[in-house]
Amino acid sequence: MRSLFITATGTNVGKTHTTLKLIEAYAKIGLKVGAFKPIETGVEDEPVDAKALLEACQEVNPDFTDLAPTDICAYTFSLPAAPFCADTKQEIKLEKIFKKYHELSKRCDILLVEGAGGLMVPITQTYKMIDLAKELNAPVLLVTPSRLGCINDTLLSLEALKSRDIDFDWCVNLYEDKESFAKVTQPYYDAVFPKWWSTEKNIVQFVNQMI
């Protein structure tokens, strides 16, 4: 079983959007795809992101049909905040996250693990999302936004991944400020990262390269 850790430069950048596209692309090449949302915050009745991921997996992987959204989450919290802050009772145990990861891994050929927020978001006081990605020993796909100011966020996240010697790729979710992206951001990416790619245009190519 293989896995891929999907993260972003921050919240509301497009992790779930990208993961859904990955589920579809991996399924099209014949792989049984699974999804894992270790922690979801801002949950009222049910984890919305986990539900979307599970429903997509259930369409292409029969081994996920008997699961509920909470089955692909280790923890859910009502407060929309970083896990450490949302976990007001200090319930998070890393062992439970890894146990759930291994349980779900048995149901698929590739498990897509979607983080919460960005790389430096704290899970506990001393353990961050980037630490989880490192410990899972999974390659990382960093999703970056297209809005003004994204260059700084992208470069900081790339530096963090490099500093921990994590195997990664990155892509741009062309969502916000799409009209101005070509003028205010793309020239730098074209000059420094000529092979940069977008979720909308190149996800299939990325999946084929990962085989």
Q: What is the mean pLDDT of residues 88-115?
A: 97
- The reply to whether 116 sits in an annotated binding site is yes
pLDDT in tens, 145-194: 999 999 999 999 999 999 999 999 999 999 888 889 999 999 999 999 99
Q: What is the mean pLDDT of residues 121-134?
A: 98
- The reply to whether 124 sits in an annotated binding site is no
pLDDT in tens, 19-70: 999 999 999 999 999 999 999 999 998 999 999 999 999 999 999 999 999 9
- The reply to whether 93 sits in an annotated binding site is no
Predicted pLDDT of residue 142: 98
| 1 pLDDT more than 80 | no
Residue ranges per structural domain of the chain = 2-210
- The reply to whether 126 sits in an annotated binding site is no
pLDDT in tens, 131-144: 999 999 999 999 99
Top CATH class, 2-210: alpha beta
183 is catalytic: no
Cα separation values, 40 from 60, 67, 113, 130, Å = 23, 17, 12, 16
Query: Is the distance from CB of 5 to CB of 133 less than 8 angstroms?
Result: yes
Which one of the listed residues 32, 37, 100, 128 is annotated catalytic? 37
Q: What is the mean pLDDT of residues 108-126?
A: 97
| 211 pLDDT more than 90 | no
Report the number of secondary-structure helices (H) and strands (E) in the chain.
9, 6
pTM of the predicted structure, to 2 decimals: 0.96
Hey, what's the torsion of the CAs at 164, 72, 123, 141, to 10 degrees?
30
Contacts of 31 (CB under 8 A, 6+ apart): 108, 109, 110
Sign of the four-CA dihedral 28, 33, 36, 42: positive
Contacts of 41 (CB under 8 A, 6+ apart): 76, 77, 78, 79, 80, 81, 82, 83, 86, 116
